[in-house]
């Protein structure tokens, strides 16, 4: 067990590699109750969400979810978040556990719209059921016809008779769902999901495989790949920045960077020579240090050692070779296309 | 779990002695603490080892761990198969998961190592992480 933002969480239940494979080939169950939940409601809710996030909340219909970011005036990350539109004037933001208090204070401080902002983290338990067999397993318990549910949508539905919110989202690069419910009922549902998933070889999955799965899918991790020093554009997340939606915090800085082009950008790489790149290992190019590894690991689905780093844009084309310093030795790496892993759509 | 015919170090390596050559690997306890081993870095034949100094590293998905030599000496053989099959360290830590063979330069160093029973007592006294 490790301490993760105040939560005791297992790195692995059985084996990182086996848990990883199970999610890619069958189904895995994650307890992600640590994720923070901030609710924003009232007539000013949409204007507040629109002002503090860079994606366009006006385009979000009730029942829809959006990946977005809370941004500082500099265009850097307060946090990356998913925004759920629960009702016309009611939003749920799911945020990184370690950032929950900071995000809540930031949103409250910027609340010039008389919206009601609440930290509702302790009101929800949250599970993620991920993998090609996730739908089949969850359908054994869910009242809603999950085959009718699109990606990044949610419904309120009974799951084994319990009131839940089920979304088609995840952090693994696989198809899957996230289930939100009241904490008192969580343990029983966890056991039930493992029980009904047994014939599909379900496994509980810990933080270790959660990291390798998200890295293969090139999903950013706050605190590693993105933080208050990196802009949304540098993080290669320009698709969540909607300049045409009007003003929002960080717009001016991001617009300037968009016009001039960011000086660096987050890229994926694989090791050419033997070695595993890990976070904070120095990255050198042309003999000088140009940055550090932000995430790095052995990638179980690829059988390669991969990572992410910010490289100056003039040297970040696919195929560019550079060096990662591993225990004082330069080890060759190469920029590759991302995501590293993409699931086959059925 | 801890074969009687091996000697053990505080850093969780084992060594078996035949004539003046020692075979070195990591213990079952070490491999299980590390988890799935995905990468092994070893020295070359001819390299000199110093007792209690690191000679290589073992990496799992989640962590890097240095491997310390229980004795001083010169490398005479390296288990090259670990490069492609690092999981042998998990599956068979005292057999196919061996790492290096060393010609001892100071056999008296062996007296400082644990017997199987002493190593088990050492582990039992270790506080839980």
Q: How many domains does chain B have?
A: 1
DSSP β-ladder status, A203-204 and A28-31: parallel
> pLDDT by residue (tens digit) across A42-82?
999 999 999 999 999 999 999 999 999 999 999 999 999 99
Å between B19 CA and nearest CA of chain A: 34
Contact A15 B35 (CB under 8 A): yes
C-alpha dist (Å) from residue A62 to A31, A58, A118, A178:
26, 10, 19, 17
- CATH pick for A263-336 out of 2.40.30.110, 3.40.50.360, 3.40.50.150, 2.60.40.10: 2.40.30.110
Q: What is the pLDDT of residues A159-206, one digit of tens each?
A: 999 999 999 999 999 999 999 999 999 999 999 999 999 999 999 999
In a domain, B55, yes or no: yes
Q: What would the pLDDT profile of A84-109 be if each residue is shown by its tens digit?
A: 999 999 999 999 999 999 999 999 99
For residue A143, what are the contacts with CB-CB under 8 A and spacing of at least 6?
A157, A158, A159
Tell me what pLDDT residue B128 has.
62
User: Touching check for B39 and chain A: CB below 8 Å?
Assistant: yes
CATH of domain A2-33+124-216: 3.30.1360.120
Q: How many CA atoms lie within 13 A of A187 on its CB side?
A: 1
- Would you call B36 helix, strand, or coil by DSSP? coil
Which of A269, A237, A271, A276 lies closest to A254 in space, CA to CA?
A237
Domain boundaries, chain A: 2-33+124-216, 36-122, 263-336
Q: Could you list the residue range(s) of the whole structural domain that residue B61 is in?
A: 7-106
- Asked whether residue B1 is domain-assigned, the answer is no
Say how far apart CA B108 and CA A335 lie, in whole Å. Answer: 51
Kindly report the CATH number assigned to the domain that includes residue B71. 2.40.50.100
pLDDT of residue B129: 53
Give A154's strand partners. Answer: A167
Minimum distance, in Å, between the CA of residue A80 and any CA atom of chain B = 24
Per residue in A107-160, pLDDT tens?
Answer: 999 999 999 999 999 999 999 999 999 999 999 999 999 999 999 999 999 999
Question: Which band of pLDDT confidence, cut at 50, 70 and 90, is reported for residue A6?
Answer: confident
User: Which of B34, B36, B42 best tests the A interface by mutation, with the highest count of A CBs <10 A?
Assistant: B36
State how far the Cα of A214 lies from the Cα of A300, in Å rounded to an integer: 12
Q: Is residue B122 part of a domain?
A: no
Question: B41 and chain A: CB distance < 8 Å anywhere?
Answer: yes
What is the assigned CATH class of domain A36-122? Answer: alpha beta
Domains A2-33+124-216 and A263-336 share a fold: no
Q: Which tens digits make up the pLDDT trace of B94-118?
A: 999 999 999 999 999 999 999 999 9
pLDDT average, residue stretch B55-71: 95
* Residue B117 resides in a domain: no
């Amino acid at each position: 067990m490790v301490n993760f933002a105040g939560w005791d969480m297992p790195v692995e239940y059985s084996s990182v590699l086996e848990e990883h494979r199970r999610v890619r080939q069958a189904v895995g169950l994650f307890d992600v109750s640590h994720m923070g939940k901030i609710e924003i409601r009232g007539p000013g809710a949409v204007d507040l969400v629109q002002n503090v996030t860079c994606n366009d909340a006006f385009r979000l219909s009730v029942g829809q979810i959006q990946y977005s970011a809370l941004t500082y005036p500099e265009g850097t990350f307060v946090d990356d978040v998913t925004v759920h539109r629960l009702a016309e004037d009611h939003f749920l933001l799911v945020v990184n556990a370690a950032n929950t208090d900071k995000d809540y204070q930031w949103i409250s401080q910027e609340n010039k719209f008389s919206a009601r902002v609440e930290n509702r983290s302790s009101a929800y338990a949250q599970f993620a059921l991920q993998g090609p067999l996730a739908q089949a397993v969850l359908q054994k318990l869910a009242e809603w016809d999950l085959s009718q549910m699109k990606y990044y949508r949610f419904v309120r539905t009974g799951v084994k008779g319990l009131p839940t919110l089920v979304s088609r989202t995840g952090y693994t690069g696989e198809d899957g769902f996230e289930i939100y419910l009241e904490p008192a009922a969580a343990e029983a549902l966890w056991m039930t999901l493992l029980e009904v998933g047994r014939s599909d070889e379900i496994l509980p999955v810990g933080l270790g495989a959660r990291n390798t799965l998200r890295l293969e899918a090139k999903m950013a991790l706050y605190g590693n790949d993105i933080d208050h020093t990196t802009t949304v554009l540098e993080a290669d997340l320009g698709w969540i920045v909607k300049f045409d939606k009007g003003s929002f915090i960080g717009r001016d800085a991001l617009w300037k960077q968009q016009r001039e082009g960011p000086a660096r950008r987050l890229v994926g790489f694989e090791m050419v020579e033997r070695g595993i790149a890990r976070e904070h290992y120095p990255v050198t190019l042309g003999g000088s240090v140009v940055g550090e590894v932000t995430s790095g690991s052995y990638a179980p689905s690829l059988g390669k050692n991969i990572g992410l780093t910010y490289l100056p844009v003039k040297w970040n084309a696919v195929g560019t070779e550079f060096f990662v310093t591993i225990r004082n030795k330069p080890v060759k790496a190469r920029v590759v296309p991302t995501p590293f892993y993409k699931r086959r759509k059925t | 779990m801890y074969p009687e015919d091996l000697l053990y170090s505080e850093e969780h390596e084992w060594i078996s002695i035949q004539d003046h050559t020692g075979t070195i690997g990591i213990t079952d306890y070490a491999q299980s603490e590390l988890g799935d081993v995905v990468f092994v870095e070893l020295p070359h034949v001819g390299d000199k080892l110093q007792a209690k100094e690191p000679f290589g590293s073992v990496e799992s998905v989640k962590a890097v761990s240095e491997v310390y030599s229980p004795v001083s000496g010169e490398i005479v053989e390296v288990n090259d198969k670990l490069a492609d099959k690092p999981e042998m360290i998990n599956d068979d830590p005292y057999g196919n998961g061996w790492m290096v063979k060393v010609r001892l330069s100071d056999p008296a160093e062996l007296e400082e190592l644990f017997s199987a029973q002493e190593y088990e007592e050492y582990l039992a006294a270790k506080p839980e992480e």
